[in-house]
Chain A
Amino acid sequence: MADEQRLLVEAVDDVTVVTFKDKKILDEAVIQEVGDQLFSLVDKQYKTRLLLNFENVEYLSSAALGKLITLNKRVKEENGELKLCNIIPEIYEVFRITKLNRLFEIYEEMEQAVRRFKRREA
């Protein structure tokens, strides 16, 4: 894939932490690339315990929210978990207005979110 990598992907314990590099997730092309890269984690790399880190994100459109909703469904189909963290207050307000703060598990800090993933059976 020649696309610019829009995500920073790290393993923390057995959780895949995904940090958005973009400040603005508004452009349709950016949203498409971000979506493709997120879905590739689930479909090609079988990562289904995902924590999305929004620390760099300053703007987010409704189309980007749509991608997150579709990703959440995909992760659930695989019995995985998707959580969100480090959302600045302005962006959290977008989740609150759309009531998506009820759909997504949102945490203030990464460490706190990582601890909330279900333990895997040994």
Chain B
Amino acid sequence: MDGWHTLTIQSVTENIRDIEEALCEALNKADFPENDIFAVRLALDEALANAIKHGNHYDATKLVSVKYRLTDGGITIVVKDEGAGFNYENLPDPTLPDRLELPSGRGLLLMRSYMDTISFNAKGNEVTMVKGRGKST
């Protein structure tokens, strides 16, 4: 299976923890540094919350799939929901002074900050995140 693992969950936020624990355990076993595990858990949490909340609108009959591949160099994670996708290029900067007090809109910023690369499919319902081993954020 060329090193890819696939996990699938129903769109219930309680399921996020299981995915996070599975991936963090895999990173731990592969001796990834603590900083990397922190970064991956945070980015994954945001990606899964977005998929369940904004992608699948909490519809428990819809699934979120997580594919990941660990290599000596790092980890690649692909999170996909069954939603209509979103326009990831036009999101406002949540750090602008007039947006700083808004309670939401920071998830993607954190994902971009903590992973090395973030990319979306054309539809916008699948995000691919890459984190190199031992690279500072």
Contact = CB atoms under 8 A, between A and B. Distances in A.
Nearest to A98: B106
Interface string B37-52: 0100110011001000
B104 A73 contact: no
Nearest to B38: A90
Interface residues of B, number: 26
A100 interface: yes
A27 B14 contact: yes
A29 B14 CA distance: 8
A12 interface: no
B94 interface: yes
Given A27-B13, A27-B16, A97 B109 contact: yes
B107 interface: yes
Mostly, the A contact residues are: helix
A62 B104 contact: yes
A59 B16 CA distance: 14
A97 B93 CA distance: 12
B41 A69 contact: no
A86 B103 CA distance: 22
A61 B20 CA distance: 13
Interface of A: 26-29, 59, 61-63, 65-67, 69-70, 72-73, 90, 93-94, 97-100, 102-103
29 contacts: A26-B45, A27-B13, A27-B14, A27-B16, A29-B13, A59-B38, A59-B41, A61-B42, A62-B46, A62-B104, A62-B105, A62-B106, A62-B109, A63-B49, A65-B103, A66-B106, A69-B101, A69-B103, A70-B103, A72-B101, A90-B38, A94-B42, A94-B110, A97-B113, A98-B94, A98-B95, A98-B110, A99-B100, A103-B101
Interface of B: 13-14, 16-17, 20, 35, 38, 41-42, 45-46, 49, 94-95, 100-107, 109-110, 113, 137
